[in-house]
């Protein structure tokens, strides 16, 4: 480990220079399920003459036919000089950064994946995605067009309609509270509340559905 990297990863305890500890001792673990947009970097031209810019050639990671140049500023590349295979990442707040390929691929799956694609995950990862708004399905499901979505329910309640009132012995218009639930689009196009089976929970063939 270089001295530069070591200095970034350590903090001092008190005034003792010798009492250096790794910064991870002051951190908690977090897991992200946020969505970002990213382009694949396929070429890097460092230090363009007369500028402080680095020209990146980027393309859609899933459709690599169209390429475009992107001028990265010095502050974007000072910590990590991009290489072909890395990613240019755009966040919801407009912030743009460069991510090494391994770090990005370990943390993100393409939302545009479809049932039958190569991007498979276990149920734990699928639940994280469905709660963030994605549609999920198992690659092994036989029914065409089936997928699961997350419904937020009505935790604060809504006025119940006649059918609900009769089913629950309530008065029409009474406040009806409903907790969040999972809903399945079935092969015939209808919808129903859904609970996973043991096989679903243990399955590792979950995919993101684009529909």
| pLDDT per position as a tens digit, 81-107 | 899 999 999 988 889 999 999 999 888
Q: What is the residue extent of each domain of the chain?
A: 1-30, 37-107, 123-209
Of 30-34, 63-67, 92-96, 173-177, the poorest mean pLDDT is in 30-34
The predicted structure's pLDDT at residue 20: 63
Give the Cα separation of 99 and 88 in Å (integer): 6
With CA atoms as reference, report the closest residue to 211 among 144, 142, 131, 125.
Answer: 144
| Predicted confidence band of residue 131 (pLDDT cuts 50, 70, 90) | confident
Give the Cα separation of 205 and 161 in Å (integer): 39
Give the Cα separation of 80 and 99 in Å (integer): 8
The predicted structure's pLDDT at residue 4: 47
CB atoms within 10 A of CB 205: 16
Which CATH class for the 37-107 domain?
A: mainly beta
| Predicted confidence band of residue 137 (pLDDT cuts 50, 70, 90) | very high
Q: Does residue 113 register a pLDDT over 60? A: no
User: What average pLDDT score do residues 2-22 get?
Assistant: 56
Q: Does residue 111 register a pLDDT over 70? A: no
The whole model's pTM is what?
A: 0.52
């Amino acid at each position: 480990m270089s001295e530069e990297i070591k200095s970034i990863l350590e903090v001092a305890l008190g005034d003792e220079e010798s009492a250096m500890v790794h910064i991870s001792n002051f951190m908690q673990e977090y897991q992200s399920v946020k969505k970002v947009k990213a382009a694949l970097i396929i070429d890097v031209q460092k230090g363009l003459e007369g500028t402080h810019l680095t020209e990146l050639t980027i393309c859609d990671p899933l459709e690599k036919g169209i390429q475009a140049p992107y001028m990265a500023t010095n502050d974007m590349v000072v910590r990590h000089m991009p290489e072909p295979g890395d990613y240019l990442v755009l966040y919801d707040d407009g912030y743009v950064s460069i991510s090494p390929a391994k770090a990005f691929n370990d943390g993100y799956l393409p939302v545009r994946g479809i049932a039958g694609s190569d991007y498979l995950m276990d149920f734990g990862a699928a639940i994280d995605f469905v709660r963030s708004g994605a549609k999920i399905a198992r690659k092994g499901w036989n029914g065409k067009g089936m997928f699961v979505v997350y419904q937020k329910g009505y935790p604060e309640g809504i006025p119940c309609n006649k059918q609900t009132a009769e089913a629950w012995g309530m008065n029409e218009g009474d406040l009806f509270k409903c907790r969040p639930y999972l809903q399945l689009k079935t092969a015939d196009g209808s919808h129903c509340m859904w609970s996973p089976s043991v096989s679903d929970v243990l399955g590792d063939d979950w995919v993101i559905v684009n529909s």
